[in-house]
Amino acid sequence: MNIDAEHSEQLISLYGGSTPVQSRWTYRASEPYTVAAAFQTDRDRWVEWVFGRDLLVAGLSGPAGEGDVRLLPDLANGRAALYLEIESPDGHALLEMNYEAIQNFLATTVAMVPLGNEGDYFDIDALIEEITNV
């Protein structure tokens, strides 16, 4: 079991239906319950969102999310898309992602850590040590 395994993909999303946004999606086997999506806002500035991998799984098949991250697939227009809505006190964005690219990213994470087996990769002792040694 390699808990240091990491997978990142560069994806282009569309903001407002037309403005391309570079995004970097990352999954780490050592943090098996979450994925990170970072979006480039300026040349050197990235904004990162971390959310549950289970949310991504649910969002590929139907509307998912109730908080700051919400997902909605659109498979009806002949071009499959996944809409990612993110919200914070600083702003709101609705991004259109290529459905197949996100599906491929998720498949890679599942190859690294099968769904339902996250607990086998999560180091609870390291988390407790990190929390108690602050």
Query: pLDDT in tens for each of the 134 residues of the chain?
Result: 445 566 666 767 766 667 788 888 999 998 999 999 988 887 788 889 999 999 999 999 999 999 899 999 998 877 789 999 999 887 888 888 889 999 999 999 999 999 988 888 776 777 677 788 86
- Reduce the DSSP state of residue 133 to 3 states and report it: coil
User: For 64, which DSSP code?
Assistant: B
Number of DSSP helices (H) and strands (E) in the chain, helices first: 3, 7
CA-CA-CA-CA dihedral for 123, 29, 50, 125, to nearest 10: 0
pLDDT at 1: 44
**Whole-model pTM?**
0.82
Report pLDDT for 115. 94
Diameter over CA atoms, the chain: 52
In the chain, where are the structural domains located?
A: 6-132
CATH class of the domain comprising 6-132: mainly beta
